[in-house]
Amino acid sequence: MNRIQQALQQDKKLLSIYFTAGFPKLEDTVNIIKNLEESGADMIEIGLPFSDPLADGPTIQESSTDALRNGMTTAKLFEQLEGIRQQVAIPLIIMGYFNPMMQYGMEEFCKRCNELGIDGLIIPDLPLREYELEYKALFDKYNLDMVFLITPQTSEARIRQIDAASNSFIYMVSTASTTGAQSGFSQQTTAYFDRIAAMELKSECIVGFGISSADTFKAATRKAKGAIIGSAFIKMLREKGIAGIADFMKAIRPD
């Protein structure tokens, strides 16, 4: 049982935080990870910046642009993460687009993730069928979970296929739009949460997109195992830097 699966078995709602590696400053990556664990994060998604992040809203796009300007690369991220498992114990997932991983070399990318203690990958633009035909064996070889995304528009048949292929959690996108903080969830989104819960999938679901406060975290996790916060955390980093992490986390989950 890997770290993601162990986290999913905990008797609590999980709080996962996304941040862009190399933002606000190039060498902030490890300090952000350590501060997040110390402040109560259950999982961390490390964003690998890309010049054309189609699924990301303006806040994350801007952080990617800044990180690339700062000099962040795949090789640099792996260099920064050397020895990270001597410093943090919670699950670490790399979220990024397929092109930079392919440029690095997919097997070498997975191998380095395994060596560094990365637990899984989220690759929004890698189709399920291509993953199963071309890359599943590689992920299995290097003990990496593949996390798939579903949206309100994903058909039930497709969700069932994704559930069958998943070995950790399903990333349940709350909206069909790009990422970004919201003040609350619509009735339509709440009905979507209920519909997925009623399917009784074997995989746990963790909600992403639109979570920015204690209220939205609570609403997102009413029937899901956890929630992911990205844009709101990036905004906080831009305004307050690493010093603001503890207060941000306490505001989301005060208990």
CA–CA distance, 205 with 8 (Å, rounded to integer): 10
At residue 2, φ and ψ (nearest 5 deg) are -90, 180
Q: How far apart are CA 146 and CA 169, in angstroms?
A: 9
Specify the DSSP class assigned to residue 128: H
DSSP state letters, 19-35: EETT-SSGGGHHHHHHH
Q: Does the active-site annotation cover 45?
A: yes
Distance of alpha carbon 46 from alpha carbon 57, whole angstroms: 16
Decide if 56 is catalytic.
Answer: yes
Residues 41, 111: Cα–Cα separation, whole Å: 26
Query: Which is catalytic among the residues 28, 37, 42, 45?
Result: 45
Catalytic residue among 28, 37, 42, 56: 56
Q: Give the CA-trace dihedral at 85, 124, 211, 223, to 10 degrees.
A: -90
Q: Strand ranges (DSSP E) for 98-221?
A: 120-122, 145-147, 149-150, 169-173, 204-208
Which residues does residue 49 pair with via DSSP β-bridges, in sequence order? Answer: none
Active site residues: 45, 56
